[in-house]
Amino acid sequence: MTLLVCNFYPVCSSQERSRPSVPASVSRQELGLPDPVPAGTPEPLGIWFLALKAGVAMLIRVRELELRNLEFDENFQPGAIEFGPDFRQIGPLHSAGRAELIVEHRGHHQDVEDIRLVGKVVTNLEFSCARCLEPVGHDVNWAFDLIYRPQGVDRRAEEVAISEAETEIGYYQGEGLLLEDALREQVLLATPVRALCREDCKGLCPHCGRNLNVEQCHCEQHLSDPRWEALNEIKKKLQ
């Protein structure tokens, strides 16, 4: 399964940010789901579990939210959600919360069905120190309150500015939103872009690559800059 990361950033009004989701055209066979239950048998409410290559994905569908709010309380083991090559999940990821439908009435009989996702995510990540590249652990305990609109409803001309509140809006495609995609985004937002193993980290020697927190090297501390060689020659002559 292809995994994408989309962060909340201000965007140009001519381009919407889309959240990865499962399009409405995906068939049960493509998702590896069993055949539908016999006609007349009610399908269970709640978050749908889709058997995908990377494991079990949780699709929050708009048509389910039209009936009632959906509660979730789930644990994801390392590897179930991909955070990219720079981050490694080193413990279970727990998330709990609810999804609900918010209908925007925009006039002229136009209603927009937004998905509101409220909850928290708790996990432990590991990434490299920005100076010495040694592993650094980071605890994530993050609450979120998110709004996702159908992709395409906010298309507008380039010259129209968007408000600060609208930069916090995400978008979904098709029939719903994958919970894992929203959680991936929130975990990465809660993780520092640049972190150190300690405040006084000495980093790596730029010449031999040794970790200066562990051992000292014998490389020259101040290498000669060829741009100053002519000035150094003049200085020697004056001495």
Which tens digit of pLDDT belongs to each residue from 54-92?
445 789 999 999 999 999 999 999 999 999 999 999 999
Q: What is the mean pLDDT of the chain?
A: 75
16-29 pLDDT, tens per residue? 334 444 443 444 44
Using a cut of 0.95, tell me whether the model's pTM lies above it.
Answer: no
- pLDDT digits over 99-132, tens only? 999 998 877 777 889 999 999 999 999 999 999 9
Burial 5-18 (b: 16+ CB within 10 A, else e): ebeeeeeeeeebee
Residues 6+ apart with CB under 8 A from 140: 121, 122, 123, 124, 125, 187, 190, 191
Most confident of 24-33, 34-43, 182-191: 182-191
